[in-house]
Amino acid sequence: MTIDITKLIEEFEFNRILNSDTQTKQIAILGTIDLENAILIIEKSPFNIELINSDPKSVPTKIISSLSLINSNDVYNWAKATLNQDLDQLPAAKVNLIYPATETHIRKYNQQKLHYVRETPEMYYQYVIPYIDTMKGERLKWVYNILFHGKEKESFIYHDESKDGFVLLPDMKWDKVNLENLYLCCIVNRMDIGSIRDLSGSDVIYLGNLQNTIQKVTHKKFGLPQDQLKIFVHYQPSYYHFHLHIVNVHHPGLGDGIAIGKAILVDDIIDNLKIDGEYYKKKTIGYVIGENHGLWSIEGYRNSVRSQ
């Protein structure tokens, strides 16, 4: 079924602003469509470097539509500007719509206080595993729709249906225009890995093959060699079915998506598992978590964090 996103957004009724990020130039707005919660995420688009390089003689007139001087001092001049726009090559913004939005979605995008956690193996077994169990089933239906039912197949960059295969497709954070902002997602077929905590030494070859295939496919499709890619996972992940993030090393910013306390490079995961096959089952893992995360609602988990 084809979604008419224009119609849905026209029916969007504003409730409140969830968050606004001046670094990523992104705003998340909570509203309703047909009385059901919806989240509208609007992010200003980066410049299309490939388009600019293709016709450098027309720069800056191709980019700038009009100017109004703010001030000048010696050799420094600054002004407000409106930019030329083209929906395909120079879009003003990228829009994401989550509808219907669950309370989990709302908590994820709502502004929140953050905490640094050192999750011991004991905390993981006592609090995190029971939480993960509540986040499976219907909550992963959209993942299984991609892997096994061909949902979004028109966007697939690569699809290997074997047991150790995966789907590689553009992440919703990428506008599919600027290679500098390339952001892909690899979702594996294996059902036995929810997060890095489930990995062991027996997965070293699997992870190496996975990363090598991603690098080859991305190079063939987009011309980016492996030394221009970051391949990493998140802990805690946003959903508990193993998946990898692939971004251009020149990506200017992803909020906290590639920050310390969130992103872990696959190369480092492989090296750690070579040192000790039970590394991630034994390790105390440090990460940043927001108070809107489901884990923070667990009293024992909170108390463990505060007693560290």
> Among all residues, which ones are annotated catalytic?
243
Helices (H), the chain: 5-10, 49-54, 103-109, 121-123, 129-134, 141-148, 204-222, 266-275, 279-282, 299-306
For residue 64, give Cα distances in angstroms to 171, 179, 258. Answer: 29, 21, 31
Q: How long, in residues, is the chain?
A: 308
For residue 124, give Cα distances in angstroms to 1, 115, 151, 290. Answer: 40, 17, 33, 17
- What CA–CA distance (Å, rounded) separates 250 from 266? 18
- Scored b (16 or more CB within 10 A) or e, 47-65 reads ebeebeeeeeeeeeebeee
User: What 3 state SS string does 235-261 have?
Assistant: CCCCCCCCEEEEEECCCCCECECCCCC
- What CA–CA distance (Å, rounded) separates 143 from 18? 25
